[in-house]
Amino acid sequence: MSKLFVVGIGPGGLNHMTFEAREAIDKADVVVGYKTYLDFIEPLLAAKEVVSSGMMREVERCTQALDIAAAGKVVALVSSGDSGIYGMAGLALELAEIRAEGTANACCGVEIVVVPGVSAVQAAASVLGAPLMHDFAVISLSDLMTPLDTIRKRLRAAAEADFVVALYNPRSKGRVTQIEEAAEILIAARGTEVPVGIVRNACRDGEDRIVTTLGEMLSHPIDMFSIVIIGNSSTRISGDGRIITPRGYEKKRGAVKSAGDGLAAAGAATRDPRSLMFCGTGSDVGKSVITAGFCRILKRRGISVAPFKSQNMALNSAVTPEGGEIGRAQGVQAEACGIPPHTDMNPVLLKPNSDTGSQVIVQGRVVRNMGVKEYNGYKQEAFLKVRESFQRLKEKYSFIVMEGAGSIAEINLRAHDIANLKAAEMAGAPVILIADIDRGGVFAQIVGTIELLTPEEKAMVKGVIINKFRGDVSLLKSGIELVEERTGVPVLGVLPWYKGPSLPEEDSVALQRKPAASGSAGEAKLRVGVVRLPRISNYTDFNALEAEPDVALTYLESPQAIESLDLLVLPGTKSTLADLQFLEENGFADAIRSFDRQVAGICGGFQMLGKVVLDPHRVESGIAEMPGLGLLDVETTMLEIKQTHLVEATLLAAGQEIAPESPATITGYEIHMGDTVAGSGVRPFARIETRSGGEAGIVDGAVSKDGRVMGTYLHGVFDNHSFRTAFLNRIRRAKGLPEREAAAPTVDPFDALAAHMEKHLDMERIFQICGPTITG
């Protein structure tokens, strides 16, 4: 049988060729190859027949080599590097297979011998030091044979999996954007400080080496003769300027001992002493409040701290100074840190608008509405934004306090999780688990949650907090001892039910605890009812009303409860038309129209009070038009762009009439997709002076001519103490109740919460878990 050697000659220097490669060329009668590669081995070609051709003629060269071998000569087909890595071996075998179709000979009568060599990635790695000591991915950026979309997917997957990434064919005269896209994808996953090596002409004449960072990579020359190697989360630059990706031997030797060793040894991210994550055994166990309290504890110690929740599904949202939308809890936590809220603190926000779908908001801006399956497919892209946002916060603040979502033991959701332990792994953050004893079965919550975790996940959990306890803590001693023995995780304290100043709540579970209307309230109370819409949003608008000593605020589940109210409130909603339809179908609409006392509508509730709501672009649902409740002479049209702004406003004449003696200036925030036009039957409520720091000068809201019905787009209007007091005093006078004076809270709720936590938790152990950033 004739013989064809497919020879990998290494990076180009004769000194890097293997003995087997030299022997194959020595045995060959004919040597076939790309002219540039043949020049590298010219001293070995004396007395050989040489067949050469130029770039892009691989199929032609391979065909010639097979033809010559089939004619009875021994042939060496030359590849640079390794013949089986982006080399000629695969093409030779494919073409031989095609030739042999229909015959009994697998390789068309030619024996094909694949001779390995030193690949370009190996050569480049040796020049740089030891960047490939752990798992790595090699990706060619050439789209001549691989579709660009496929290249992008491979880059994202490698970036997310924390592989060291080696890039072949990074740039040529006609291919300049791929390396820029690759940099963007990797920066989003790893930040800008990851070490990068660029090697040109590795291990041959003209060799050049650059050690830089991912953020500076594109400022250096890169061409088709370059190999680019990007480190992973543990890659570092040694004292002599070489790149090292640790394999983990130091942990095996016991040289590094830390609470994060179990995770690191399992191949996950090493612990980062600049972050801590509070996760839960379920929803509404107190994660948001404890995160806010810990933020304030660190602030009081002089530490620059910021909150972070990678993905938040919330009914309540907040607006950042730059006009982005995040979960309300992260806005509150930023306040506890003493810093302005930013979209990086909650890069992914989901606002449910149906049983199976949500509006997806990424880094403060609406992407689109997605069902569960579509969003699961989108999560990989979303997680790149999560990494990007976290990295920016980490570069700006000394410590990041992270919050999980729901339960960390939802094993059916593990593959798609970007909110809990995957985010903690990304950050290298130790985890403290929070359990709610008020709902019962707290020890089963703790043990069951930890038992359902993988060994790698268990290693991340460094402590447990039992929250919302009422009673004698000593009664829990035996249970705590059993939990610690069973799980190996210490209980860091038991937090009694917090009776201090309230903080805004997070989600629908908290809303379900709100009292429904009943007939039991005393006559000495103002009776305020908020319609519990199926798609209610930002119900934190009414926390300040609920906190008034003489207000009995309830959430209405039936229209019969409306008749006894002093104030009826229509809250915000994520789907105005669908909730209008709910009001009509369930008897609320007629009851609201018949109600003859004070009515207030906030945002979507304001839109419902009008004559009609139009949705020509089907922004919210499949309903194009719905008649409103007809209590205000306004018409609303849904637009495709959401308005999200922090605002300062001035009460106009009608606004001051319904809140007499209130200062004219109020603040709030807008989150809406509707544009409302007022008719002659109403007067404007306020004038918005500034939006997101810029001048606005536009009117907001509407008040009926008799002052009985008012609506506004301003969320948080009742958080203005003087306005709220004046507005309620007008209703108090009508009912014959004593008026009250406006009084802002005298106790900082975050300081009170921090003191509560410091009193009942083992702060020394928690600080040890956090690491030297806190204890040093």
Catalytic residues: 603, 715
Query: Residue 123: what are its φ and ψ, rounded to 5°?
Result: -65, -45
> What tokens appear for 147 in the block?
């579709």
∠ CA 150-154-159, nearest 5°, is 150
Q: Under a CB-based contact definition with an 8 Å cutoff, are residues 185 and 139 in contact? A: no
Strand runs labelled E in 238-389: 243-244, 275-280, 305-308, 311-313, 317-319, 325-327, 348-352, 357-362, 365-371
Contacts with 520 (C-beta within 8 Å, 6 or more apart), sequence order:
none
Minimal CA–CA distance to 193: which of 382, 391, 347? Answer: 391
Contacts with 26 (C-beta within 8 Å, 6 or more apart), sequence order:
44
Q: Tell me the angle at which helices 178-190 and 148-160 cross, rounded to the nearest 10 degrees.
A: 20
Q: Under a CB-based contact definition with an 8 Å cutoff, are residues 295 and 449 in contact? A: no
**What does the alpha-carbon distance between residue 405 and residue 420 come to, in Å, rounded to a whole number?**
6
Q: Under a CB-based contact definition with an 8 Å cutoff, are residues 609 and 570 in contact? A: yes
Q: Under a CB-based contact definition with an 8 Å cutoff, are residues 213 and 185 in contact? A: no
**What does the alpha-carbon distance between residue 569 and residue 200 come to, in Å, rounded to a whole number?**
69
Q: Under a CB-based contact definition with an 8 Å cutoff, are residues 367 and 361 in contact? A: yes
Minimal CA–CA distance to 573: which of 611, 606, 616? Answer: 606
Q: How many CA atoms lie within 13 A of 579 on its CB side?
A: 24
DSSP letters spanning 580-649: HHHHHHTTHHHHHHH--SEEEEETHHHHHTSSEEE-TT-SSSS--EEE---SSSEEEEEEEEEEEEEEEE
Query: Which H helix or E strand runs over 32?
Result: strand 30-34
Contacts with 34 (C-beta within 8 Å, 6 or more apart), sequence order:
52, 53, 54, 55, 57, 61, 78, 80
Instruction: Please count the residues of the chain.
Output: 776
CB atoms within 10 A of CB 342: 24
672: which strand partners? 643
Minimal CA–CA distance to 666: which of 588, 624, 612, 721? Answer: 721
Q: Under a CB-based contact definition with an 8 Å cutoff, are residues 136 and 158 in contact? A: no
DSSP letters spanning 228-241: EEE--TT-EE-TTS
